[in-house]
Amino acid sequence: GGDDDGALGARYDCVFIDIFDGGNVCPPAFYGDAFLRDARRALAPGGVLVHNLHIGGRARGRALEAAEDALDRHFPHGVFRVDALGSSAFSGNALLLACTAPLERARFHEHAARAAERWGLRFDAARRVRGLRRVVREAPPDPAAATQP
């Protein structure tokens, strides 16, 4: 990729990422800077990237945190997370959503309902985004602040 019209020469309302290795961990290349830069370019204005990650265990937890950080760097309008129905801290799926434009949390329900109708989804998409929350990354400590009285 690299042109302004996206990596594939087209613009998309939504890009889904759902890939895992043998340990059910998303390979780092799929939340790496080059990949996310191209994925963002492929999104239309107001487009959303949806990244499905498995949760549970140290390796999956590290991958989830790294993906959240990476998405936060590439999508300054916000990164949101919702765990799939039936997920727990020990197993399941977390969906990360990143926007190319500001989008209120409440509007995800509206968009999910419209997407379900438009594409004939066989599940209640609006219900699945009910637990959506914004991922808030803490700023790294300011070394200068530690030296001031």
pLDDT single digits (tens) 29-78:
999 999 999 999 999 988 889 999 998 889 999 999 999 999 999 998 88
Rg (CA), the chain: 16
Q: How many degrees, rounded to 5, is the angle at CA 33 between CA 104 and CA 100? A: 20
Alpha-helical runs (H) found in 43-104: 58-74
Token pair for 41: 């370019």
Tokens 């009910």 sit at which residue?
130
| pTM to 2 decimal places | 0.76
Residue 28 has pLDDT above 80, yes or no: yes
Distances 109 to 2, 84, 128 between C-alpha atoms, Å? 32, 15, 9
Phi, psi values for residue 60, rounded to 5°: -70, -35
What span, in angstroms and rounded, lies between the C-alpha atoms of 109 and 122?
16
Amino acid at 132: L
| Residues 124-140: tens digit of each pLDDT | 777 777 777 888 765 55
Judge contact between 108 and 125, C-beta under 8 A: no
